[in-house]
Amino acid sequence: MNASKSADSAHNTAQVISKALPYIQRFAGKTVVVKYGGNAMVDEGLQASFARDIVLMKAVGLNPVVVHGGGPQIGALLERLNIDSNFVDGMRVTDSRTMDVVEMVLGATVNKQIVNLISSAGGKAFGITGKDGQFIRAKKLVVTHKTAAMSVPEIVDIGHVGEVESIDKAVIDMLVDGGFIPVIAPIGVGANGESYNINADLVAGKMAEVLGAEKLILLTNVAGLLDQQGQTLTGLSAERVDQLIADGVVHGGMLPKIRCALDAVKAGVPNAHIIDGRVDHAVMLEIFTDEGVGTLISNQSHSHTERC
């Protein structure tokens, strides 16, 4: 690289950092809950960029809290163990044997991999499940199923699948105050000590609400919420999202994620972001740039360029 190109590169880097400054100043001391999953979790390059983004956030004064999934990894181990995977409305039926695998994969393998990624990038990560200190209390998720031929819906037992009953924020506060980045596996504990597998998006949403987070960020394998022309919708108010759901624009696999983000915003989280985890440094781009890489849902109306 000649001197001129080197100077241009340095100048571009300086401009990028300078443009990020207002965001760094605004969010210093704020909590950001990030749900980590999808392609960003299995592609080595994206894993490294995610970890660097999280470490950078902590270094400039934000308090990132990571909640992770692990569905594909769970499915792969179940297959190797010759245990069938069954789903009801997109939720894994979790009997006792499957729950053992879920705890092994989420609480040990995946959780520690993420901790190691963040540590390798220079951060201090601390991995826990919701069973540690019983800080995520859960109850059995009741699922109902109804067809046109049925006069009343039937209750479907999907085993050890739960929903969040309460979160003890003191556990996370202790880790954050100690300079750690919490990495949380979405396993809850019931009243009698039983384990529950909980959807990671739901745990992240509840975590953002309980911690009084400034932002909830959900990584996905799509560009965000798309309109009927395939364009990414952003700068959405809660009222606008409700209308999009009613109009059928939000449907399929995106609907639960949008509902999770919407519930968090309605519960007081200022901003929820559904971003494209296939993009290198997606988290940093969403937080520290005007353009962003996904859909922003806010408790007030924003234009596309006003992503704070």
- Tens place of pLDDT per residue across the chain (308 aa): 555 556 666 667 677 778 888 888 999 999 999 999 887 888 899 999 999 999 999 999 999 999 999 988 999 999 999 999 888 877 889 999 999 999 999 999 999 999 999 999 999 999 999 999 999 999 999 887 666 666 667 778 899 999 999 999 999 999 999 999 999 999 999 999 999 999 999 999 999 999 999 999 999 888 888 777 777 888 888 898 888 888 878 877 778 888 899 999 999 999 999 998 899 999 998 898 877 778 899 986 444 334 55
Interhelix angle 200-211/169-177, rounded to 10 degrees, is 70
Give phi and psi for 166, each to the nearest 5. -160, 160
Contacts of 166 (CB under 8 A, 6+ apart): 136, 137
- What are the structural domains of the chain? 27-213 (3.40.1160.10), 218-308 (3.40.1160.10)
Q: What is the pLDDT of residue 207?
A: 97
β partners of residue 274? 218, 295
Contacts of 52 (CB under 8 A, 6+ apart): 121, 281, 284
Q: What is the pLDDT of residue 255?
A: 82
Q: What is the pLDDT of residue 3?
A: 55
Residue 180 to residue 169: CA distance in whole angstroms = 14
Q: What is the pLDDT of residue 304?
A: 39
